[in-house]
Amino acid sequence: MTLPSAVSLRPVEPHDRAFLSDLYASTRTEELAAVPWTDEQKATFLAQQFTAQDASYRDNYPDAQFSVVELDGVPVGRLYVARLEAGEIRIVDIALLPGVRGKGVGSALVHDLIEAADRQGVIVSLHVEHWNPAVQLYERLGFFRVAANDVHIRMEHVPIS
């Protein structure tokens, strides 16, 4: 499977910060719906969390590829990928805007990484929250659970021999 021709990746640039912050907020909408905060309080919280997450990713994966996912030239998501020891490919983060989710874009992005890893004989790994519906997507794509804590599941895809 290759990416649909309308889907492309490009490096994150400084002018993408507002888009990436809004994208991050879109991934937390359901979680914050039950919180009795004002919209302003939620926006402040989300901005702080985005900044902290971004700094953490960049500190922990300084050599990662931080990419914006575009559909017909319009930003619709992010894909952050790092190379770890022994060539392991780590999906640090993948997120798409709500209107793009469930349309095969995420599947195609992950499948392309799996194909690259299979050619190189390395695993693809990721962490996903227990409650995230993407767990089912990853299992459908051949990932299996290798560890878990109270919040995250570590999943891996082993190369096809």
Look up the CATH number of the domain holding residue 56.
Answer: 3.40.630.30
Beta-strand relationship, 144-148 and 124-129:
unpaired
- The closest alpha carbon to 77, from 66, 63, 62, belongs to 66
Report if residue 1 sits inside a domain. no
Report if residue 2 sits inside a domain. no
Report if residue 16 sits inside a domain. yes
Report if residue 101 sits inside a domain. yes
Amino acid at 108: A
Which tokens in the block code for residue 141? 């794509």
Q: How many other C-beta atoms are found inside a 10 Å radius of the C-beta of residue 57? A: 16
Q: Give the max Cα distance, the chain.
A: 53
In the chain, which stretches have pLDDT less than 50? 1
| pLDDT value for 4 | 61
Question: The pTM is what?
Answer: 0.93
Proportion of the chain above pLDDT 70, given as a percent: 96
Report if residue 131 sits inside a domain. yes
CA distance 112 to 106: 10
Expressed as residue numbers, the domain containing 101 is: 7-157
CA distance 37 to 139: 35
Report if residue 42 sits inside a domain. yes
Report if residue 93 sits inside a domain. yes
Q: How many domains does the chain have?
A: 1
- Cβ contact 63:80 at 8 Å: no
CA distance 121 to 158: 8
Tens of pLDDT along 59-105?
999 999 999 999 999 999 999 999 998 889 999 999 999 999 989 99
| pLDDT value for 161 | 66
| pLDDT value for 148 | 95
